[in-house]
């Protein structure tokens, strides 16, 4: 899901956003257990990055639905998907994309890349792929600054804009702990 409070869904749909980061924290000891099992049979284990990519919840080539409310997707309020007897207009998914069925979503992306890294390792180029946009600011000393849709704020670097976005969406502590994240690149297919 892409948070429309920060214009991320729109950025995906208009082609501005073609990359996303998702929590990559692994269950306690999962990688350690894998390494121990490999060593017990004399096999060289994969690196943490290789292991995480190989066990990613989303793989290159996967088609993923873009969650939007039924109303935003243009469904008729009287339309009744199978298994929803009261019609779309009466279910939570009518106005809240958290409750939509993936098979009823009309827009999709195809995953073109999967990586695993620390959140702070994002590059300026990757920030732009995440939907951070250059903004002309002739009234400021530096003519080009960076922002994201719906923020009303500008920053000196793409990474500062991205940091602000993550702090707003996930909280200060999430940014400050520099967690491992999955990095998914994708292309809009419909």
Structural domain range at position 180 = 4-66+107-188
Residue at 43 is within a domain: yes
Residue at 160 is within a domain: yes
Residue at 14 is within a domain: yes
Tell me the C-alpha distance between 169 and 150, whole Å. Answer: 13
DSSP string over 99-130: G--GGG---EEEEEEEEEEEGGG--HHHHHHT
Residue at 94 is within a domain: no
The pLDDT tens digits of the residues spanning 10-55 come to: 999 999 999 999 999 876 689 999 999 999 999 999 999 999 999 9
Residue at 78 is within a domain: no
Please provide the distance, in angstroms rounded to a whole number, between the alpha carbons at the two ends of the chain: 16
Residue at 116 is within a domain: yes
pLDDT at 179 over 60: yes
Q: At 103, list the tokens.
A: 């098979």
| Range in 8-22, 25-39, 111-125, 157-171 the model is least confident about | 25-39
Buried b (16+ CB within 10 A) or exposed e, 31-49: beebbeeeeeeeeeebebe
Tell me the C-alpha distance between 44 and 31, whole Å. Answer: 13
Residue at 132 is within a domain: yes
Residue at 79 is within a domain: no
pLDDT at 104 over 80: yes
Residue 118 φ then ψ, to 5°:
-75, 145
Listed residue (102, 77, 101, 74) closest to 89, CA to CA? 77
pLDDT at 93 over 60: yes
How many CA atoms are closer than 13 Å to the CA of 47, on its beta-carbon side? 5
What is residue 99's predicted lDDT score, i.e. its pLDDT?
84
The pLDDT tens digits of the residues spanning 54-70 come to: 999 999 999 999 999 88
- CATH number of the domain enclosing 128: 2.30.130.30
- When divided into structural domains, the chain yields a total of 1
What is residue 83's predicted lDDT score, i.e. its pLDDT?
54
List of residues 6+ apart from 43 with CB closer than 8 A:
none
């Amino acid at each position: 899901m892409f948070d429309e409070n920060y214009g991320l869904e729109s950025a995906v749909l208009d082609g501005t956003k073609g990359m996303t980061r998702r929590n990559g924290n692994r269950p306690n000891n999962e990688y350690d257990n894998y390494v121990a099992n490999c060593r017990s049979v004399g096999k060289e284990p994969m690196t943490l990055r290789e292991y995480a990519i190989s066990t990613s919840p989303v793989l290159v080539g996967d088609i993923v639905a873009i969650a939007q409310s039924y109303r935003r997707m243009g469904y008729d309020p009287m339309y009744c998907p199978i298994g929803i007897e009261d019609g779309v207009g009466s279910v939570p998914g009518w106005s809240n994309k958290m409750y939509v069925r993936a098979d009823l979503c009309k827009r999709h992306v195809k995953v073109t890349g999967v990586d695993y890294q620390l959140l702070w390792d994002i590059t300026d180029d990757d920030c732009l792929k995440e939907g951070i946009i250059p903004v002309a600011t002739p009234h400021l000393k530096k003519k080009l600054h960076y922002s994201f849709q719906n923020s009303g704020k500008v920053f000196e670097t793409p990474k500062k804009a991205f940091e602000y976005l993550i702090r707003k969406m996930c909280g200060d502590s999430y940014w400050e702990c520099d967690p491992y994240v999955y990095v998914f690149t994708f292309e809009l297919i419909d």
